Amino acid sequence: MDIELSGKKILVTGGAGFIGANLCEVLLHKKNTVICLDNFSTGKRENISSLLENTNFKLIEGDIRNLEDCMFAASGVDYILHQAALGSVPRSIKDPITTNDVNISGFLNMLVAARDNSVKRFVYAASSSTYGDSKSLPKIESVIGKPLSPYAVTKYVNELYADVFGKTYGLETIGLRYFNVFGRKQDANGAYAAVIPKFINQLMKLESPIINGDGTYSRDFTFIENVIQANLLSLIASEDAVNEIYNVAFGDRNTLIDLTNSLKELLSEYNPKIKNVEVIYGPNREGDIPHSHADISKAKKLLNYNPMFSLSEGLRESIHWYWKNLN
């Protein structure tokens, strides 16, 4: 999908992170001026190294927990794509205070910076974790349960704050509830690596991936290109679409067993031995939602969102990238 968006000055917080760096790249390609704000706590310099020589790209090393950094970065920008956050359910369970500081206090700082700098629109990364213990499927934006982790609490509070800033200060906000995003530039190492890059990395090394639980938990895995599309559409959407929350996913669900089998099948095209790697099953992970499947009809209707990449298509592209960059 070709989305017309050029000649704007756009701040991407967490711009050296997985999603943020991909957004920076696409926005620059579309001839926009891009400001990247990152403290490199989870973002990586190599994600944006190819952008540093672009005269339309500016890196600000700063922390969203510092209001002065937020105000400086937001000065004179048209739009903010707020991707900065401390992700991972297990990390939030281990360290709820830092997760709260970054995801709530930092988020509030960015809202204030957007308001005080008269930013036209504030689009932010929300999360499917907000659905919590709700058992209804597919997930509809208006039906949520109680959060199952500190991380989920923080992402729900973000939505509440954005709603209040819309009503109280007239700030245009759009929240995008991401569902298990994966793709190029996503960290494959570390204790909090997401399941797809982690499993790809392990299988490439002929190591056994560990599935949490019996493998029947399911997810609406969402390729990065679909997420980029949703962000760009949010920037150009009509005023009827603002101050709303949208599911961003493909609109399908696959079990962890399905995922692992697909990864082994696709990776075996590069190394046939991968097909014979055994999978290990471990205990369920605390704070995990059993099933995740998004209803994306609201985003289709109000944002003209039309996800182009299924899980299998996204996996094929991701594996090609990891094979080239991790080998």
DSSP letter assigned to residue 30: T
CA atoms 18, 23, 26, 29: torsion sign: negative
In a domain, 260, yes or no: no
pLDDT in tens, 212-228: 888 999 999 999 999 99
- Identify which of 108, 109, 145 has the alpha carbon closest to the alpha carbon of residue 289: 145
- Residue 43 domain boundaries: 9-183+221-251+290-309
In a domain, 132, yes or no: yes
In a domain, 38, yes or no: yes
The Cβ of residue 171 has, within 10 Å, a number of other Cβ atoms equal to 21
Q: Helices 195-204 & 311-326, crossing angle to 10 degrees?
A: 50
Q: Which residue among the candidates 151, 217, 246, 305 is catalytic per the annotation?
A: 151
Q: What is the pLDDT of residue 1?
A: 62
In a domain, 4, yes or no: no
Q: Find the CATH number of the domain harbouring 136.
A: 3.40.50.720
Segments in the chain below pLDDT 50: none
Q: What is the pLDDT of residue 233?
A: 98
In a domain, 299, yes or no: yes
Number of compact structural domains in the chain = 1
Q: What is the pLDDT of residue 194?
A: 87
For the chain, the average pLDDT equals 94
Please tell me the distance from the alpha carbon of residue 327 to that of residue 316, in angstroms, as a whole number.
16
Mark whether 151 is an active-site residue. yes
